[in-house]
Amino acid sequence: MMIPTIPTPDELLDKGFRRGKKAADEVRSSKMPRRLKPKRIEEVRVVTACQVIKDRLKMINDRTPTVEDLPIFYQDYIDITVGIDDLKKSLGALNWAYGIISQLERDYSKKIRRYPPEKASQLRSQAYGRVASVAKKISKDLDFLDFAKSQLRNMPTIDFDATSIVIAGFPNVGKSTLLRQLTDAEPEVADYPFTTKGIQIGHIERNWKQIQIIDTPGLLDRPIVDMNDIEMNAMVALEDLADAILFIFDASETCGYTLEHQNNLLTEIQKVFSAPIIVLFNKIDIAGYETGSDRFDYIDKFIKMNDNPLLISASEGEGIDKILKVFDSVKKIDRNNDDY
Ligand code: GDP
């Protein structure tokens, strides 16, 4: 998410006061009755400084997207990463500062006009003091926004118009190998607050249909009972996004998990996700899946538990076309209707 550059209170004030001084210098060198000048100089100085500071505050508020307008996926992301309430509170504080500075601008320009010229400079300095104390009061909020900016810098770019396929399966079953095989370009790697390993997104275009494949290492690769609240939230966010789940078995069990274990994970994922689940068995090249062998019967038992799963070898590029064909039939889930 794009939060604009956030100044420190000092940077905010420096810029305002510098511009105020410049504007005042222009008045000083302009043609004007001498006796009007002192008041005019100080008034311009106050008004310009306040305007510049207000513009900056307003720009930050305007350019920061309204969280409620963002897709749920990003709302969850922001909430976990920086906290939506804290973000709103900080933006609210900037808004508050804007209001107070507007008030000071009005009050002090009026005073400068009404008071004798020899008071003008003193009033301006008083106005500056009060503006500075407003800026100090939002110091924590500016800090927070700067932190939020850095935290949200590498947010994943999700294409909400694309059909989304979320990959699941235990570690080392071949998820990232497959993702690379399925997509032409290198998958985009972005931060994902729910796991330390980030999120990988690959894009495919098929018959003018945009498909994005999402792998979340460290999330959909272990039993759901082991998940904490944050990870459960991440699941909900993915559930909200997924048009289909691509569940990967490692038929060779070289990932270190038995087919039984892997099947249990699939069962859990079936319970959580309402999207259709595409099941495939990977590493068929080293699985010992040869007719007549004990290994064949053993693997076949798990294959038969699923409805026509695909048998592939991601590292050998075997079966990739079959997967892409299945993707063609995935329908984008319409989540804009009322009962959703
Ligand atoms: P991930 O943790 O699920 O993303 O798994 P990786 O894609 O990192 O793969 C784990 C290991 O399995 C790597 O060493 C891959 O080269 C290997 N691998 C992946 N797919 C296959 C396959 O189809 N056949 C064989 N023999 N090895 C594979």
Which is the closest atom of ligand 1 to the Cα of 180?
7
ipTM surpasses 0.95: yes
- Alpha carbons 17 and 13: distance in angstroms, whole number: 6
Q: With H, G, I as helix, E, B as strand and everything else as coil, classify residue 301.
A: helix
Q: For 90-129, what is each residue's pLDDT tens digit?
A: 999 999 999 999 999 999 999 999 999 999 999 999 999 9
- Most confident stretch, 32-41, 62-71, 129-138, 153-162: 129-138
Task: Tell me, in angstroms, the distance from the centre of ligand 1 to residue 181's CA.
Answer: 11
User: What's the chain's average pLDDT?
Assistant: 93
Distance 169 CA to ligand 1 centre (A): 12
Going by alpha carbons, the residue nearest to atom 17 of ligand 1 is 174
Q: What residue's CA is closest to ligand 1, atom 18?
A: 174
CA 180 to ligand 1 center in whole angstroms = 11
What are the residue boundaries of the structural domains of the chain, listed by start?
Answer: 9-151, 163-328
176 C-beta closer than 6 A to ligand 1: yes
Identify the residue whose C-alpha is closest to ligand 1 atom 22. Answer: 283
Task: Compute the distance between CA of residue 104 and CA of residue 99 in angstroms, rounded to an integer.
Answer: 9
Neighbour count for residue 319 (Cβ, 10 Å): 19
Other Cβ atoms closer than 10 A to 110: 11
Which CATH number is correct for 163-328, 3.40.50.300, 3.40.228.10, 3.40.50.720, 1.10.3720.10? 3.40.50.300
CA of 175 relative to ligand 1 center, distance in Å: 7
Q: What CA–CA distance (Å, rounded) separates 54 from 278? A: 54
Spatial CB neighbours of 136, under 8 Å, sequence gap ≥ 6: 9
The residue to mutate among 170, 172, 176, 199, having the most atoms of ligand 1 within 8 angstroms of its beta carbon, is: 172
Q: How far is the CA of 323 from the centre of ligand 1 (A)?
A: 17
- For ligand 1, say whether the CB of 320 is within 6 Å of any of its atoms: no
- What is the dotted CATH code of the domain comprising 9-151? 1.20.120.1190
pLDDT of 282-322, one tens digit each?
999 999 999 999 999 999 999 999 989 999 999 999 999 99
CA atoms within 13 A on the CB side of 168: 32
Q: Would you say the CB of residue 167 lies under 6 angstroms from ligand 1?
A: no
Residue with tokens 């794009």: 2
Cβ pair 295, 287 in contact under 8 A: yes
Measure the CA–CA gap between 147 and 237, rounded to whole angstroms.
23
**What stretches of the chain show up as alpha helix (H) in DSSP?**
9-28, 37-63, 72-81, 84-114, 120-137, 139-151, 175-182, 229-241, 259-272, 294-304, 320-328
This prediction has a pTM of: 0.81
- Nearest-atom number in ligand 1 for the CA of 316 is 23
Ligand 1 centroid to residue 178 C-alpha, Å: 8
User: Does residue 131 contact residue 20 with C-beta atoms inside 8 Å?
Assistant: no
Strand duo 199-206 + 310-311: pairing: unpaired
User: In this structure, which amino acid lies at residue 154?
Assistant: N
Q: What is the pLDDT of residues 151-199, one digit of tens each?
A: 999 999 999 999 999 999 999 999 999 999 999 789 999 988 777 788 9
Tokens found for residue 209:
């249909």
User: What is the full DSSP assignment across 65-97?
Assistant: PPGGGS-HHHHHHHHHHT-HHHHHHHHHHHHHH
Distance CA 218, CA 300 (A): 28
- Residue 161 phi/psi, 5° resolution? -90, -15
Do the domains 9-151 and 163-328 sit in the same CATH topology, yes or no? no
Residues in the chain, total: 340
- Per-residue pLDDT tens over the stretch 215-246: 988 787 777 778 888 787 777 778 888 999 99
Pocket flag, ligand 1, residue 164 (CB < 6 Å): no
